Amino acid sequence: MPDEHGSYQDSEWWRSHFSGIMLDLWHSLLPQHRAVQDADFLQSACRLPAGAKVLDVPCGEGRVALELAARGHQLVGVDISPGLLREARRRADERRLPVEWHEADMRRLPWDGVFDAAFCWGDSFGYLDDAGNREFLAAAHRVLKPGGRLAMEIGMVAETLFARYREEVTRDVNGIRLAVRRAYDPRSGRLAVEYTLTRGGTEEKRSASYRIYTCGEVCRLLEQAGFVTDPLSGGAGVPFEIGAERLLVVATKVGSVAGRCRPVVADAQPAE
């Protein structure tokens, strides 16, 4: 949570966050049909050719990557969490899908101009500080071919988060009691979150910190990294607006020339 000066002391919390009960919770949060819908959106919005080479970063347990691989695309997944990658490999083996998995930092991508598309899904953008988020976008730009597309799903963009903001939330998910405490620091633009997870007689705690951007700030970061953005979507074929469930943004690699954000209905829509 915030320190005595009202700011959150950033750390690489994500390295150990997805383990234990939290890992089990993460696996059960989204149903399989959502992966199908997300893959539909990505395939259309990123204009993937047959057999496209696609990067999922960070890939988590590979939920969407596996769905795209099942459609004949060449998938590479990158994540820093060993636990999530173990589950990704298990699922790929179970479905006999040839996905290439790498344990690595999303800012340190070891490729240049080889991918037709990349995507950052599951609300993963914003874990880092401002410099780190810019490093990630620069890395994503570097790994794409000219004209390649980057897609991002952000559920904690400001226009979405604060429309339904509550400091404390408790819910039950598949036998796990999840208690969440939030504190937002307007000076740093970061949301500090404490998670308490209880299952049976076992309790675990996790802390996290998220950089909360506005939609406009996300667009400007993409432009500064050398992308031009497509029309924005809030999901289900509707334009992004205050209170939308999430922001879906697709951007094209064009070099270092800044582009333009256009918040209108997306021309590629998820089948939700």
pLDDT of residue 272: 30
Q: Are residues 191 and 129 in the same domain?
A: no
Q: Are residues 27 and 103 in the same domain?
A: yes
Per-residue pLDDT tens digits for 226-244 = 999 998 898 877 889 999 9
Range with the poorest average pLDDT among 101-105, 185-189, 235-239: 235-239
Strands 238-239 vs 233-235: parallel, antiparallel or unpaired? antiparallel
Helix (H) or strand (E) holding 198: strand 190-199
Task: Tell me, rounded to whole angstroms, the distance of Cα 31 from its chain centroid.
Answer: 16
Per-residue pLDDT tens digits for 78-94 = 999 888 899 899 999 99
Q: Are residues 107 and 236 in the same domain?
A: yes
Between residues 258 and 207, which one has the greater pLDDT?
207
What's the domain range around 137? 14-157+213-253
| Residue 183 domain-assigned (yes or no) | yes
Taking all residues of the chain, what is their mean pLDDT, rounded to a whole number?
A: 87
Q: Are residues 127 and 200 in the same domain?
A: no
- Cα gap 193→196, rounded to integer Å: 10
**Inter-residue contact 99 to 65 (CB < 8 Å):** yes
| Residue 53 domain-assigned (yes or no) | yes
**Inter-residue contact 194 to 1 (CB < 8 Å):** yes
- Cα gap 247→238, rounded to integer Å: 10
Q: Are residues 43 and 77 in the same domain?
A: yes
Q: Are residues 230 and 98 in the same domain?
A: yes
Q: Are residues 237 and 164 in the same domain?
A: no
Between residues 42 and 272, which one has the greater pLDDT?
42
Between residues 3 and 239, which one has the greater pLDDT?
239
pLDDT of residue 65: 97
| Residue 267 domain-assigned (yes or no) | no
pLDDT of residue 259: 42
| Residue 3 domain-assigned (yes or no) | no
Question: Which CATH number fits the domain that encloses residue 186?
Answer: 2.20.25
| Residue 65 domain-assigned (yes or no) | yes
Q: Are residues 114 and 29 in the same domain?
A: yes
| Residue 1 domain-assigned (yes or no) | no
State mean pLDDT over 29-42.
Answer: 87
Give the count of alpha carbons within 13 A of 124, CB side only: 26
Count up the domains in the chain and report the number. Answer: 2
Q: Are residues 32 and 67 in the same domain?
A: yes
DSSP state, 45? H
State mean pLDDT over 199-214.
Answer: 93
Q: Are residues 83 and 143 in the same domain?
A: yes
Q: Are residues 47 and 123 in the same domain?
A: yes
Q: Report pTM.
A: 0.86
Residue 3 pLDDT > 60, yes or no?
A: no
| Residue 263 domain-assigned (yes or no) | no
Q: Are residues 205 and 217 in the same domain?
A: no
Question: Which CATH number fits the domain that encloses residue 65?
Answer: 3.40.50.150
